[in-house]
């Protein structure tokens, strides 16, 4: 019995040490993951400058998240987030990596992000970005020229996440570019229990849901500001409202 307790104690100690080592190395892993998979999800340039991790509190901060504009638009970026704070349940990480669970994210806080919204008569940069994300995450229908992805008997397992609380605050959206551009405040966005019902969702699924909610915030900001900003930007704002409502199926 004593030997069994000793063995269990050693195993528990090894698991704890392994978990701490993993948390200390998460920064480079996250940075590399975003820079590797971000462009595949958005179809645009994506860069993350750095990630600092506090392993004992289970929190980390991402700095300098840049998401570029799709081709054909004037601005170099669709949005930029200077600082993103994330709090994770450390005990959920080892099990998720071993395939027996998912990472529980207690909080994601994005403060003072910057968005750029460009539009023309029939399209927008954000709409193009969403199309890319839907295509990458399987949310959009294939065009006649596209062949459906081949199914495999054993699809690769992806790390899954559950986000208890997502908050975006003090955000601004710049409507248009150049002299006629107008910068508008966006309403705060709060999402709770993202992926809870599903028992965890993949990073691309989480990104798709978050960006869809952010687009809704842009709709609210632009709609509220039509008629309250300069005449040059008002026409752009009106076009933005129509484009975004069409994107979300409103069309009215």
252 belongs to a structural domain:
no
pLDDT, residue 26, reads: 64
Q: Contact 103/161 with Cβ under 8 angstroms?
A: yes
CA–CA–CA angle 51, 54, 58 (5° rounding)? 105
pLDDT, residue 80, reads: 93
d(CA 90, CA 55): 8
Q: Contact 104/89 with Cβ under 8 angstroms?
A: yes
191 belongs to a structural domain:
yes
Domain count, the chain: 1
Domain with 234, as residue range(s), is 2-138+160-247
Q: Which residues contact 51 (CB under 8 A, 6 or more apart)?
A: 26, 27, 28, 30, 31, 60, 61, 62, 63
d(CA 29, CA 25): 7
> 105 has which bridge partners?
88, 163
pLDDT, residue 93, reads: 77
- Residues with pLDDT less than 50, the chain: 2-22, 140-146, 148-149, 151-152, 229-237, 241, 243-252
189 belongs to a structural domain:
yes
149 belongs to a structural domain:
no
Name which of 88, 86, 126 is nearest 108 in CA terms: 86
**What letter would DSSP give residue 50?**
E
170 belongs to a structural domain:
yes
Q: Which residue has tokens 């199914």?
A: 151
The secondary element (H helix, E strand) that includes residue 208 is: helix 203-225
d(CA 123, CA 137): 21
148 belongs to a structural domain:
no
241 belongs to a structural domain:
yes
Buried (b) or exposed (e) across 71-92, using 16+ Cβ within 10 A? eebebebbbbbeebebbbebeb
222 belongs to a structural domain:
yes
């Amino acid at each position: 019995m004593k030997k069994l307790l000793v063995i269990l104690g050693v195993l528990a100690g090894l698991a704890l040490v392994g978990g701490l080592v993993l948390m200390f190395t998460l920064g480079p892993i996250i940075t590399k993951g975003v820079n590797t998979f971000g462009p595949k999800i958005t179809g645009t340039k994506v860069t993350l400058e750095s990630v600092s991790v506090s392993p004992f509190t289970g929190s980390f901060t991402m700095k300098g998240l840049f998401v570029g504009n799709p081709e054909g638009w004037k601005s170099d970026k669709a949005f930029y987030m200077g600082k993103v704070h994330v709090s994770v349940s450390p005990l959920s990480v080892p099990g998720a990596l071993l395939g027996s669970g998912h990472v529980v994210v207690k909080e994601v806080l994005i403060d003072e992000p910057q968005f750029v919204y460009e539009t023309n008569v029939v399209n927008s940069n954000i709409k193009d970005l969403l199309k890319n994300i839907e295509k990458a995450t399987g949310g959009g229908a294939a065009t006649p020229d596209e062949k459906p992805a081949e199914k495999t008997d054993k699809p690769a397992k992806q790390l899954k996440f559950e986000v208890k609380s997502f908050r975006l605050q003090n955000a601004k959206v710049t409507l248009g570019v150049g002299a006629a551009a107008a910068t508008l405040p966006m309403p705060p966005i709060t999402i709770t229990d993202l992926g809870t019902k599903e028992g965890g969702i993949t990073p691309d699924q989480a990104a798709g849901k978050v960006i869809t909610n952010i687009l809704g915030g842009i709709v609210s900001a632009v709609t509220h500001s039509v008629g309250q900003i300069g005449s040059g930007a008002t026409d752009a704002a009106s076009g933005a409202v129509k484009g975004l409502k069409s994107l979300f199926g409103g069309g009215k």
